[in-house]
Amino acid sequence: MKADLRLLLVDDEPNMLATLQDILEEFGWHVDSATSGEEALALLHQVNADAVLMDFKMPGLSGVEVAEMMVHERPQLAIFLMSADVSESWRARAMQCGVRAVLSKPLDISSAINLLIEHQKQGIGL
């Protein structure tokens, strides 16, 4: 498992973003963060992210819309969405566009980390 995993973390809540970034960096992973879908798309062009952990509902572009654009540009990118409330139709749309999983909020950080580690071990999109 490579220690230099590079994650793109996207959430419009600054406190959630800072907390998650701190936790993920404790694993030795490099974390770039964005507070909007538009910012995440711009950042994706600047960094070579291995995976994306992104909020589902954000002002402007939704996590699914951003995921669709990211998958179009980088089909092997592992994308994970987080949401406190998502309809089955949106969940299905996310999975159809290539999102690896939709995680419930409040986020079970242990489950999220285990999911990232498992995908990292398998080399799926990472």
Q: Consecutive 10-residue runs of the chain (126 residues): their mean pLDDT?
A: 77 95 92 97 93 95 95 93 86 91 91 88 64
Whole-number Å distance between alpha carbons of 67 and 82: 12
Tell me, yes or no, whether 1 lies in a domain.
no
**What span, in angstroms and rounded, lies between the C-alpha atoms of 101 and 112?**
10
Residue 89 to residue 76: CA distance in whole angstroms: 23
Q: What is the structure's pLDDT at 124? A: 52
CATH of the domain at 70: 3.40.50.2300
Contact 53, 107 (CB under 8 A): no
| Domain annotation covers residue 112 | yes
Cβ neighbours of residue 89 closer than 8 Å, sequence gap 6 or more: none
End-to-end CA distance of the chain: 10
CA triplet 16, 21, 23: central angle to 5 degrees? 100
In a domain, 82, yes or no: yes
- Residue 43 is part of which domain span? 6-122
| Domain tally, the chain | 1
d(CA 104, CA 106): 6
